[in-house]
Copies of this chain bind each other. A is one copy, B any other.
Amino acid sequence: MTQHLLAHPHTLIPLTYFSEEYGSAKSSISEDLSIIKEAFESQGIGDLRTVAGAAGGVKYIPRTTHEHAAAFMETLIMELAKPERLLPGGYLYMSDILGDPKTLNHIGKLLASAFRQSDVDVVMTVEAKGIPLAYATASFLNVPVVVVRRNNMVTEGSVVSINYVSGSSKRIQTMSLARRALPEESRVLIVDDFMKAGGTIQGMMDLLQEFKATVVGCGVFVETADDADRLIEDYISLAKLQEVDVKEKQIMIELGSYFSNKEE
């Protein structure tokens, strides 16, 4: 039962499913569920929500406690702050971290946890580095992923394109999304690995207007702190690059805005 719940997040599972699958009475299924519920909560795995009535059942909502999230991110920040990660232009080398499926899943769970009540229909990102993180997040929200292309790929059918100004490089760029990739009036969560001025995310928001979509939130892994020119305001970051001293090879990085919200 635990395994089935973990494999089907954000999915309402009728109690009859379990009672038929395991040949047990609904009452003993309910008892087992309350044990699982406690274990999930105490171990910081997530919530188990029960919905009463004929159309009722149980739903597993992945959720990470602030305590677990902070412990995980603090370890990751120590790894990110290693001087050899410093790249020209004030960027950080993160491909190894975002290339490890286990770490990636953990980060995805944090983002899915932050937006668990946002009624997300689809996770959107722009190619290429944000793609794995978008999938990791989407799998915990049980929704599909839509990838915005940086050019017009012939293999996508009719597309909607917009030009946008990248906030950090101030250059005009193009991004496109296939018309059929996103149903109109979807509720979209934007996910990306790195945000400088936010031009790319602003571009995605503009593109989404063409699809009459609602942006329910933005989640980024690392943001930079030069927010004087910040184009967007409403987002969650897991880590914040405070200062990069290219000369001294020092990286100052701290917990992101995810952790300023004490509500959980």
Contact = CB atoms under 8 A, between A and B. Distances in A.
Interface of A: 2-3, 6, 87-89, 91-93, 95-96, 99-102, 104-105, 127-129, 131-132, 135-136, 138-139, 142, 144-147, 149, 154-157, 178, 180-181, 194
* This protein's copies in its complex: 2
A147 B133 CA distance: 14
Contacts of A93: 155-157, 178, 180
Contacts of A144: 96, 99-101
5 contacts: A93-B180, A95-B181, A100-B144, A128-B131, A129-B147
A106 to B, nearest CB: 12
A25 to B, nearest CB: 23
Contact of A157 (B87, B131, B156, B181): B87
A171 to B, nearest CB: 13
Given A131-B128, A155-B93, A157-B93, A147 B87 contact: no
B89 A145 contact: no
A128 B130 CA distance: 10
Given A95-B156, A128-B147, 7 more contacts: A87-B157, A88-B154, A101-B135, A101-B139, A129-B147, A135-B136, A155-B194
Contacts of A88: 154
